[in-house]
Structure 1
Amino acid sequence: MTSAECGVEHIVPLYRGGKDRMSNLALACRSCNLRKGTNISGLDSTSKTEVSLFHPRQERWNEHFQVETEAGAIVGITPTGRVTVTSLEINSPTQLIARQLWIRLGLFP
């Protein structure tokens, strides 16, 4: 499986009491899933508070993130968005290169 391929992840990890239910499962790229690990929250650098990572089953993506199409970067626009971008290293060099290609091909956003 490459970074660009998706796998099923537990939004709330089993280690943290999450369940093997559809409501707790989501597709995630391999690199994001590995970086997330057992984390469910992180420290927001702006507000200096601990906030939950983005929950794809309960929250709307566009309320927490924006895309800088020129650079291919995803920007967190809320504490949850910022923590998720930072924790999952969503704008790593490899991810940016892949996202720029997807944008050029009309596959993203």
Structure 2
Amino acid sequence: MTRSPPSCSTASPTPHAAAAGRIGDLLTDADYLAHAHPDTLLTALRTVRTSQGRQTRAVYRASAGRHRAAPVQDRRFLLAIDAARYRGTGLHRELCRSLVWAPGGPPEDRSARSWK
């Protein structure tokens, strides 16, 4: 019986990109940053060498402890706030494209979030 290799769609591209010296390509993708597994991405971020890569690393690390338990939309929101704090204008713009901004939001949403 021959086994097939694992599907690329289920494997994280982060370690492969880092090993190939191409992590910077992934760091320009705001959707990828919001969806990536935090621990895997944090490990790969150690290898960045460009100024943009270092800025993205700083943005991601700013709230890294919160990314692990946060759903993707909350992770995107946190990253957008941190990108603005670190003056990552392009990254901030990309992260905000799919955010739904509602002043205050429904009361149940505000009380349900516990970002300690």
TM-score (norm 2): 0.29
| Structure with the higher fraction of residues in helix conformation | 2
Q: Which has the higher strand share?
A: 1
